[in-house]
Structure 1
Amino acid sequence: MSEIERLTFDDQNELHAALADEMRRAIASGREKRGSALLALSGGSSPFPIYRSLAEEDLGWADVTIIPVDERLVPENDKLSNTAKLREVFEPAGARVLGLFPDPETDPLPPSALDVVDLPADLLWLGMGGDGHFASVFPGPDYERAFATEDDTVFVNPFPMPAGAPVGRLSISPRAIADSRRLILVIAGRDKRAVFDRALAEGTASPYPMGRFLEELQPTMTVYEGLF
């Protein structure tokens, strides 16, 4: 069975403080054990206040590499780029931020993240949509391949395409996500909590990708639930 620890917060500041501590511990652990830390971080608006606050702290950022959990297939100068948003926050602090694939607008082409660093990540920060998707693992034409691949990344095309970002994606694969040294899932609101509860109960029979992930790959994961 999956080893799931669930932590519930009624106060946003307390949730943010706990998540900041997760990142501090992951950085300290990676630096102590291997001389450097690798963080795989989610995009979206919710985590960025935490990211910005931590970027102002002296955490040894020069020893930290950051990659996105998933990326839209757009150049980094596109507003949809997760890599660009992470660069904006963490590169001034001294961290190295790498995209999952080369930016086609750059000459010469930079290497992709996993040509430079090796998974597993010291911390992988996962989010979940209201449809139960995680990273860029959506139901659709590439759903079965995403779960079957032994590769660390997988190209996926959501179906239907999200209206706000109608592009293909490259995602860290479900297997590689489950293999993270430390895996956290952050969900906000009672509606998403209900989706997670259903996914956990139904497993592979669930229409939600999260359900299949939990039963099929048996991750060890801490779930941070914000109910404010």
Structure 2
Amino acid sequence: MNTTVEVLPDKTALIQRSLDLVLTKLQSAIAERGRFTIALSGGSTPKPLYEAIATQSLPWDKIHVFWGDERYVPADHPDSNERMARQAWLDQVPIPAANIHAMPTDEADPVDAAQKHEQQLQQFFQLQPGQFPTLDLILLGIGDDAHTASLFPHTEALQVHDRLITVGNKDGQPRITFTAPLINHARCVAFMVAGASKQTALSQIFAPTADEMTYPARLIQPEGELWWLLDQAAGETIPAIA
């Protein structure tokens, strides 16, 4: 695993650096494989990144968009990660509808929705049973509790190793989420982290030893590149522990 940790001066610099990384990975993926596959994260931190991507002139027909996790709400719900990304980016550019691979949240049972999305990924990436896809770039954040995607501390989703998609649980509210093994198959995983409230979680994620069930972001050890892009407020203590 090739790990890079960068502490940027502020949120604006964090967004710019993230944009540079996305564009670099996009260009190389399209040059090498003819398409770019990216999984988006929710939350407030990446929204300005999506708005910045929307201003670029890019080969939209070669870009395929996925999500690392999704709240189990309708796609037009204010809490929907898909809705946020559509408003900030996808609805602003001529990307083909078929290139947007949203997580389904319309099944009566979230387990059925997770299985449905797993089948969608298997079809798109032409996988055999038991195989994992290799996305070009997965964007992630962390919570103050060190969760990432919808992999929350001490939840069953952390133990799922034989599936692409599973059901996460946040205070009894179901989520659909990538599993840790799926994330770890990516060519590149990039965490975007902002704010002083993340310092405690980061100290445990970067510690030589800590419990992965308590600090789930420690599970993310991709086969490809791992980037930690932090603003100054989040990353102040990183030099001492990285």
State the match for 2:33 in structure 1. Answer: 34
Name the counterpart of 1:187: 193
Correspondences of 1:145-164 after superposition (within 5 Å): 146-158=158-170, 160-161=171-172
SS of the equivalent of 2:92 reads coil
How far apart, CA to CA, are the structure 2 residues paired with 1:141 and 1:24? 34
Residue identity opposite 1:208 in structure 2: Y
Unaligned runs of 5+ in 1: 106-110, 162-166
Q: Is 1:130 aligned to 2:136, yes or no?
A: no
Q: Which amino acid aligns with 1:42?
A: S
Tell me which of 116, 121, 126 is aligned to 1:114: 121
- Amino acid in structure 2 at the alignment position of 1:129: G
| 1:164 alignment counterpart | none
After superposition, the Cα gap between the structure-2 partners of 1:90 and 1:214, relative to the gap in structure 1 and judged at 3 Å, is closer
Question: 1:210 aligned to 2:224?
Answer: no
Q: Return the match for 1:223 from 207, 219, 228.
A: 228
AA in 2 matched with 1:149: H
Match of residue 93 from structure 1: 93
Moved more, 87-96 or 182-191: 87-96
% identity of equivalent residues: 23
2:226 is paired with a residue of what secondary structure?
A: strand
Distance verdict in 2 for CA 1:150–1:125, change over 3 Å: same
Check whether the contact 1:187–1:193 (CA below 8 A) recurs between aligned residues. no
Structure 2: segments with no counterpart, 5+ residues:
109-115, 126-132, 234-242
Q: TM-score, normalised by structure 2?
A: 0.78
Q: Aligned equivalents of 1:68 and 1:214: distance in 2?
A: 16
User: Using a 3 Å threshold, how does the CA distance of structure 1 residues 54 and 141 change in structure 2: closer, same or farther?
Assistant: closer
Task: Please report how far the alpha carbon of residue 117 of structure 1 lies from its aligned counterpart in structure 2 after TM superposition.
Answer: 2.9
- How do 1:75-86 and structure 2 match up within 5 A? 75-86=74-85
Tell me how far apart the structure 1 counterparts of residues 226 and 104 of structure 2 sit (CA, whole Å).
27
CA–CA distance in 1 between the matches of 2:26 and 2:91? 15
Q: Indicate the SS of the match to 2:149.
A: coil
* Structure-2 separation of matches of 1:135 and 1:26: 21
Aligned length: 213
Asked whether the equivalents of residues 187 and 225 of structure 2 are also in contact (C-alpha less than 8 Å), the reply is no
Residue type matched to 2:180 in 1?
P
**TM-score, normalization: structure 1?**
0.82
- Asked if the contact 1:67/1:83 (under 8 Å) is kept, the reply is no
Please tell me whether the aligned partners of residues 37 and 63 of structure 1 are also in contact (alpha carbons under 8 angstroms): yes
